[in-house]
Amino acid sequence: MTRLSVALLGLMMSATTLAATGINYDGTTLELNNDFTRSECGTMGKNTMPETSGMACSRQTPGYIWAHGDENLDDDRKIVAIEPSGTLAMTVKINTGSSERDDWEDIATGIYGGKNYIFVGAIGDNDLAYKDAYYIYFFEEPAITSGTKTVDANYIRFGYPDNKAHNTETLMYDNLEQMFYIADKADGVCHLYRLPFRTDYGTGVQTLTEVCALGNGSKFNLCTGGDITPDGRWMAIKNKPYILLWERQGDESLSETAKRRPQQIAAYQEEKQGESLAWENSSTFYTTSDQKKDMPIYKFTRGGTTPGGGDDPTPSDIDSTAKAVNEVILSNGYSAFINSGETIIRGWYLEGTEAPEVASYLISEGATWTQNGNQVTVTAAKGMSDTYTLLIQPVTPVAFTTEEMVFDGSEGSWIKSAYGWDSTKKWRFSKTDDDHSREIAGKTHVELFLPACDTVVLKSMSTERKVRFYINGEALGSETKLLASGNTLAVNQSLPFMLTIASAQSSGDGGIAALRMARKAGSTSIDPTTNDKRQTTNKFLRNGMILIQRNGKEYTATGQEVK
C-alpha cells in the first residue's frame, strides 16, 4: 500500500508539473494564461444533442447557446438553443436546399449589415474526398422563443488554395473584419485560412486565403474548435489537450494577430472528445465534448467568479481592469449599451438619417476617455486601460399596418433590447435604479423603430409596469404605467421615428407584448401638450454629461432625475 501511494503521489506531482508548464509552440515554450477559472455549469444531454460538435453563443437573444451534432442527415439537419445549464429552449430545423453535406463540424454567430447571423460549417472530411465541396450555411439568427421552427439557409461553397482536400473542424467569424477564419485539423502542422463573408457569392466555388501555420505540430495539432470574441479582441483555438489564446493589438488584422505566439490557457483540462468552444463575451467562454452520452458543459470565466458562483465579473472586478464605462448617450438620444463582459458599445439609429455620434459619457471616477474614430480607450486612475469598439448601426423601421402586432420574438430587426426576447416577459426590460452598470447594459429600456403614424397603442405583458416614453430621445409626458390592456400614445409623427420605453420601476422585470399603429390621432393616456413645451426645455453639458433642465428639475438624457 505504501509503495502504491508513493507511486500515485509521483504521478500526481508529474501531472501538476505538466499542467504548470507551457507547451512547445514553434520551438518556444508558451506563456501560461492564468486569468481564467473553470467550473461545470451544466450538462449537454444525449437526448438534447448527441455528439455535440459545435457551439456558439446567441447574439440575438443573449444568455443562450446554439449547438449542433456531428451527423446531420434529413430530419437531423438542425441546431438547438440551450441555456448554459443544458436546458433545451428551442429547436431550429435547417433547410439547406440543393446542398446536402452532412459532416457539420462547427458553428459561429456574427453581425453583418446590421443583422445577426448564424454560420454552420459543413467542413469535415475524414476521408479527404471532397476537395472543393465544403460549405458554410448562413441565415439570419432567429430570436429564441420555444418549440420548433424551420429556416431556409443560403450557403457559401469553398475550396483550399492548394486545390487539395482538408479535414476541418474549426469555423470562426470576426465581427470587425466581417471575415471567416478557418483552422484545418492537420495531423502535423495546422494552418489558418480566411474568407470574407458576403451574402452574394452565389453557387460558385470560393478559394480560401492561407494566413499562417499554427504551432509546430508536435504539441499543438489536430485543431477541433475555436471562436472569436464579439468585440474581435480575443481568438481561442483548441485541440483536445490545449486551448491557445491570441489577443488582437490595436487596429491590426486578425491575420497579423495569428502570426504572433499565443498564450496557453492554464485552467483548461483535456476533454477526450472536446470539439466545442463558444465565447459569450470577452470574459466568458464555454466548452463541451462530442460523445454519445450526457456530457458536462464547462464555463471559463476571466478574473475569477463572483461570490454567487460562476457569473460574470462583479463591478469591482470590472473597475480593477479599467472596464469602467457607465453610460454612453448618442446624439440621437439613444442610450447605448454594452453586454456584460463585452467591449462593444452598441448603438442604433434610423435608416436614412445621419449616423449619431457620442454626445456624452459617464466613466468611473478618475478615469479618462479617449476616442479615435470608432475606437474608445478608457484608462483607469491606476493606469490600466481597455479599448472599446463603437458599433452604431442603422435600423429599418417596421412597415406600417393597421393590424395589431402580437410579438412572438421575430421582431428583432426593428426592436432593440439588450435583454432580448423572453417567452414570459416578451420584449423585456429590467428595473431602473442608480446602478449605472444596469444602464449601460441596456436592460432598462427597449427601442422600437416605427413608421410615420399618429397614434401608437402598446400593451405590456400580464402585469402593468411603470415606464417613461421618449420620441427620438425627447420625453413624451412623464412617468406612467404600461398596461396589459394597452396605452394609447398620441405621437403625431410625419416621418419614421424611434420610440423608447424606459423602465421607471424600483424592482421587477417588465416587457411589451403587442403594438398597434394608426394614421388618425386618437385619445391618449399621455398628455400630448407636454411635447408642446419642448421649447422651454434647456440642455447643457456638465462633467461630460448632457443634462436637461425642465420645470426646475434636471434630468439625464435618458430621463433620470439628477438629485
Model pLDDT, residue 529: 36
Model pLDDT, residue 165: 93
User: Is the model's pLDDT at 6 over the cut of 50?
Assistant: no
User: Is the model's pLDDT at 132 over the cut of 80?
Assistant: yes
393-416 residue pLDDT tens? 889 999 999 999 999 888 888 998
Model pLDDT, residue 559: 59
DSSP H or E stretch at residue 53: strand 52-57
Q: Where does the pLDDT of residue 270 fall: very low under 50, low under 70, confident under 90, or very high at 90 and above? A: confident
User: For 142-146, 171-175, 393-397, 506-510, which range has the lowest pLDDT when averaged over its residues?
Assistant: 506-510
- What the block records as the C-alpha cell of 64 is 443562450
Model pLDDT, residue 495: 92
Q: Which residues lie closer than 8 Å to 262 by C-beta, 6 or more apart?
A: 25, 30, 244, 245, 246
Q: Could you give all domains of the chain from N- to C-terminal order, each with its CATH number?
A: 28-302 (2.115.10), 323-536 (no CATH)
Q: Where does the pLDDT of residue 383 fall: very low under 50, low under 70, confident under 90, or very high at 90 and above? A: low
Q: Where does the pLDDT of residue 388 fall: very low under 50, low under 70, confident under 90, or very high at 90 and above? A: confident
User: Is the model's pLDDT at 296 over the cut of 70?
Assistant: yes
Q: Which residues lie closer than 8 Å to 464 by C-beta, 6 or more apart?
A: 481, 482, 483, 484
Q: Are strands 209-214 and 205-207 parallel, antiparallel or unpaired?
A: unpaired
Question: What percentage of the chain carries pLDDT values higher than 90?
Answer: 35
Model pLDDT, residue 279: 96
DSSP state of 131: S
- What the block records as the C-alpha cell of 43 is 450538462
What are the backbone dihedrals phi and psi of residue 534, each rounded to the nearest 5 degrees, phi first?
-60, -30
Helices (H) and strands (E) in the chain, counts: 4, 45
Model pLDDT, residue 381: 63
| Mean pLDDT within 335-358 | 80
| Mean pLDDT within 206-230 | 88
